[in-house]
Amino acid sequence: MTDQQWLPPGEASPVSGVLRSEAEDPRQAWRRVTTWLEQHRPVVFDALGGPGTEAAISEAEARMGVKLPREMRQWLLVNDTDAGRRPEVRSPLVALGCQDVLPSGGLLLGLTDIERVYRHKKDTEEMQPSPDREHPSWRKEWVPVSAETDGHYGIFLNTRTGTVGSWSRSSDPEEHEYPSLFAFFQDVADRLEGVSSGDWSGPGRARRLDRRHEDSPIRVWARTNGFLVNDRGRIPASVRQAYEDSL
């Protein structure tokens, strides 16, 4: 990847052909998130940590072997939840992630956990290649933004296209769920503020169907009882039946 893909405001991306504007600064969308958390969930806000540093980002990039896009660097420089912290020995894969930030679930990752999850997913794909080489379970250009503790589910940023997608242990990864990190954080802010319809096309956003809220208890129950279910999409009839039988 070259810096050519991350262009100044008003220039078209050679990958997407979309104009990037100053309004699509992820820091602005992230500020909406932190403002809401500070007012309504101060404990979560306090757990977000402080700003990151250019040196820490550059060192992580070197270890991962990937260049983080400008948008992600901007966000991490404003808020790195792992800044100044190190995981304890025998910590889970996601050791320092921040809970209760994302309405869709999962832990928001700081730089340390981003690197840990990235290297784990990349190494796993290299050691156990996916049967379909055209659709692997992980690509080198994907960098995690959020994940569950075990890393089986999460959200990633594609460093080549700037789009945001998701991965799941129980289904194929979904790319292009959001056109940018800005759009992802805008949706997070909308959901926190209670104004998201889950299906609209504001600046820098893609059409995205909301999850079925009534499914959430079933998914939690299923994972607790050893069933593999995705964060989104149809819940298998067998899992629904098992859940209903348990009531």
pLDDT at 230 over 80: no
pLDDT at residue 123 in the model: 92
4-38 pLDDT, tens per residue?
333 333 344 433 334 444 457 899 999 999 999 99
Domain with 216, as residue range(s), is 211-247
Same domain, 118 and 186: yes
Same domain, 66 and 154: yes
Enumerate residues 6+ apart whose C-beta is below 8 A from 236. Answer: 229
pLDDT at residue 85 in the model: 75
Q: What is the DSSP letter of 8?
A: P
Same domain, 143 and 215: no
Same domain, 205 and 231: no
pLDDT at residue 84 in the model: 73
Enumerate residues 6+ apart whose C-beta is below 8 A from 72. Answer: 26, 143, 145, 157, 159, 181
Q: H or E segment at 174?
A: strand 171-178
pLDDT at 114 over 50: yes
CATH code of residue 106: 3.40.1580.10
Number of domains composing the chain: 2
pLDDT at 203 over 90: no
pLDDT at 39 over 90: yes
pLDDT at residue 117 in the model: 94
Q: The tokens of 81 are what?
A: 């939840």
DSSP assignment of 88-138 equals PTT--SS-SPBSSS-TT-SEEP-HHHHHHHHHHHHHHHHHS--S-TTS-S-
pLDDT at residue 234 in the model: 59
CB atoms within 10 A of CB 189: 22
Residue predicted with more confidence, 12 or 67: 67
Same domain, 69 and 122: yes
Same domain, 135 and 192: yes
Residue whose structure tokens are 């889970």: 92
Q: What is the DSSP letter of 26?
A: H
This prediction's pTM: 0.71
Beta bridge partners of 98: 108
Q: H or E segment at 147?
A: strand 142-147
Asked if residue 45 lies in contact with residue 32, where contact means CB atoms within 8 angstroms, the answer is: no
Q: What is the spatial distance between Cα 52 and Cα 63, in angstroms, rounded to a whole number?
A: 17
pLDDT at residue 49 in the model: 82
pLDDT at 165 over 60: yes
Same domain, 176 and 131: yes
pLDDT at residue 140 in the model: 94
pLDDT bin (cut points 50, 70, 90) of residue 239 is confident
Asked if residue 210 lies in contact with residue 197, where contact means CB atoms within 8 angstroms, the answer is: yes
Residue whose structure tokens are 């996601």: 94
pLDDT at residue 5 in the model: 38
Same domain, 174 and 98: yes
Same domain, 129 and 61: yes
Same domain, 13 and 117: yes
pLDDT at 185 over 60: yes
Same domain, 179 and 140: yes
213-238 b/e (C-beta count within 10 Å ≥ 16 → b) = eebeebbebbeeeebebbbbeebeee
Rounded to the nearest 10°, the torsion over CA 51, 120, 135, 103 is -40
117-137 pLDDT, tens per residue?
999 999 999 998 888 778 888
Same domain, 57 and 139: yes
